[in-house]
Structures are given as structure tokens and as C-alpha cells.
Amino acid sequence: MSNPTSLQIVASKKLGGAEYWFQRFSCALAAQGAAVAVAIRCRSELKDLEFGTLPVHQLPFHTTWDPLSRRAVAALIQRTRPDIVQTYMGRATRLTQPPPGTVHLARLGGYYALAPYRHAHGWIGNTRALCEWMIANGFPAERVYHIYNFATPAPPVAPAQLAALRQQLGIPAEAWVLVTLGRFVAFKGHRHLLAALARLPATIAGRPLRLVMLGDGPLAATLRQQARATQQEQRIVWTGWQTEPTPFVQMADLVVFPSLDAEPFGNVMLDAWRCGKPLLTTQFRGAREVARHGDDAWCVPCEDDAALAAGIQTLLLDETLRRDLAARGSARVAGEFSRETIVNQYLDLYRRLTGA
């Protein structure tokens, strides 16, 4: 059974969850024997990501209506002649108009304005709720496809490496470590996590707390000001963006994901599970569909500082609960969210649409 060739295109300038997924997915397709090329924006931060031996083409992507970029995309498709062109985000999708015989799939990872996507031949949503929303907004149901994101089990990090990382970050050996990941933008809910931290006592079970914030973004200065105003600075470690977050997550006693309801999926859930760590998440859209309260995650309402604080305290005081949540989350990654499972769903869709 042959695998169709594909060209994966994204026009983002900055790195975020969608861009890391683009890189991981493209490499995963190649790892399962598919011929893949990628196209990214010139001088984008994506150029620093590792794409292995994949051909990486850099295109202008100046504006959403840029005729030069539209011609550059068309020329690249003409040269590479993929069976499938898969685009991400509005700019890349709007500027992609493949010739007859090439299937154009647009992947949506959020509730975006749909006008730039309507000309595609099909649409992939990474949650069922997102697919239902697309159909409710006029996309033909028979051309909307649901495929979740994947995660691979994280390789273990040596205890000595974790101890060295703690020391580098100035985290006391006896401290609880809370880890959160994500861009510092409003819908990620970091302000509620900082407010929850301020509600917690100086120690829990005799141990101090440290919150490790992996990320950066437009709200960085605002969040730092909030930390100062609530006298939480000494309990927070700001790491900036980390292209390899695995050691930080494996250092965690608890992964906390405080997103608001606008969060469509939330790869942080899979990051926690793949590292075998307990997850405390708010009940945003994606978590309501994926996470199971008390089974593989501890779920609290969105925008509820008191509930976040109570959840943190509950989990840190119950080692058995933390262990059980982590074990069941890891089992789900190994099954329904494994790389092989998800990539095979994409390849099956590619073959179905191209007749391969």
C-alpha cells in the first residue's frame, strides 16, 4: 500500500503550539514512510526547528493577500507535485490554490475565522467539537475530518540531569515543582494560576512550592507585574521558550493547565501524560472532550482561582491519586493518542482522498 506524497505549509512568524505540532507531525509522517516536504515563512522562528532530512522550503508569506507569495506557493507545488497539500492557519491556507489533481486539506487547531479556509477540498479538526462547529458554520459534513493530535512517550531523563536542572533553576531539593506550558496570551489563563498560587500556603506537607513557567508572549510583563503585586516572585521560575520541554515536565510533581474555555485542544494534556505526570486542568473545550476527571486528570472550572488552588493542594497531598492519574494518562497516550495511531489515520485519509 503506497503512501501519497505531501507538502505541509505554514506561514507563522513565531513559535507556538501549532508550529511545534507542524514540525512533529511532518517528521512523524516521514518516519512512517511517507514522502514529505515542508514550506515555512522566510526568517520565521520555525527555521530553527529540527526537520531532519525533510526538504524545507522558505516562502515570503508577506501578507494574507500577497500576490508574490501566492505565485511562490503555486510554483513550489508545480515543482514538487505532491498528492496532498496540507495547510495550517489562515495565511498559508488563503495563499494556497493548488492545480487540479492536487488535494488541498486545511488543518484547523482552533476556532478561527473560516473565510480563508472555505476554498480547500477538505478540513481536518483536532477535536470533535471543532468539527461540529465547522459543519454548523456551513462546511459540508462529508468533507470535515476529525483526527486528534498525538504524543510520543517521552524518553526518561536521568535523575542526575533532573537534579542539575533543579539546581540551575534555583529550585530547592525539597520543593514541590508545578510546571505549566504555553504562550503568555489571555486564553491560556496564566493570571488565574498566579492568583491560585497566591492563595496557597507557604508550604504543603512541609514542603515549599515552585511554579515553573515555560513560555513567553505578549502578556509576559503583565504576568511578572502580577507576581510582584501578589508577592509570589520568589515562588516562580520563568524559563522562557524551551524547544525541548521534556526535562522540565519530567521534573514536575504536577503539571497545571489553567486555560480558558477558548482553548480548543491543549497539547499540554498530552505532554503531561506522555511524561507520566499527573495533570490538573481546567474544563475548557478540549479538556471536556478528552480529559476524564478523577481518572486521568483532575479537572476544575475555568477562571476559578479558588478551585485551581484547591486542586493543587488536593493533588499534592495525595500521592496515590497523583500516581493513578499519571498511570492512566500514560496508558491513553500509548493507545488512542500514540504517534502511530494518529499518523495512520492521516495516511488512511490521504489514501482515501487520492485513491492511492
Number of H helices, E strands in the chain: 13, 14
Which DSSP symbol is given to 235? G
- pLDDT score for 66: 86
Q: Nearest 5°: CA angle at 310, between 309 and 314?
A: 120
H-helix or E-strand containing 94?
Answer: helix 89-94
**Locus of grid cell 514541590:** 176
Which DSSP symbol is given to 147? -
- pLDDT score for 1: 65
- pLDDT score for 243: 81
pLDDT tens digits, residue range 196-224? 999 999 999 999 999 999 999 999 999 99
Name the packing angle between helices 17-31 and 339-354 (round to 10°). 80
- pLDDT score for 18: 87
| Full strand arrangement of the beta sheet holding 103-108 | 56-59, 36-41, 6-10, 84-88, 103-108, 122-125, 144-146
**Locus of grid cell 491543549:** 266
H-helix or E-strand containing 212?
Answer: strand 207-214
Which DSSP symbol is given to 116? G
**Locus of grid cell 520565521:** 44
Nine-digit cell at 64? 494574507
> For residue 263, which of 338, 192, 345, 339 has the smallest C-alpha distance?
192
Give the contacts of 65 (CB within 8 A, at least 6 positions apart).
Answer: 94
Nine-digit cell at 90? 489562515
Q: How far apart are CA 273 and CA 269, in angstroms?
A: 6
Nine-digit cell at 209? 512550592
pLDDT tens digits, residue range 116-142? 999 999 999 999 999 999 999 999 999
CATH numbers and ranges of domains, the chain:
6-150+338-354 (3.40.50.2000), 159-334 (3.40.50.2000)
Q: Nearest 5°: CA angle at 68, between 65 and 72?
A: 110
- pLDDT score for 17: 79
Q: How far apart are CA 188 and CA 173, in angstroms?
A: 29
- pLDDT score for 128: 96
Which DSSP symbol is given to 336? T
Give the contacts of 39 (CB within 8 A, at least 6 positions apart).
Answer: 7, 8, 9, 10, 56, 57, 58, 59, 73, 76, 92
Which segments in the chain show pLDDT lower than 70? 1
Which DSSP symbol is given to 335? T
Q: How do strand 144-146 and strand 122-125 relate by DSSP bridges? A: parallel
Nine-digit cell at 89? 492557519
Nine-digit cell at 266? 491543549
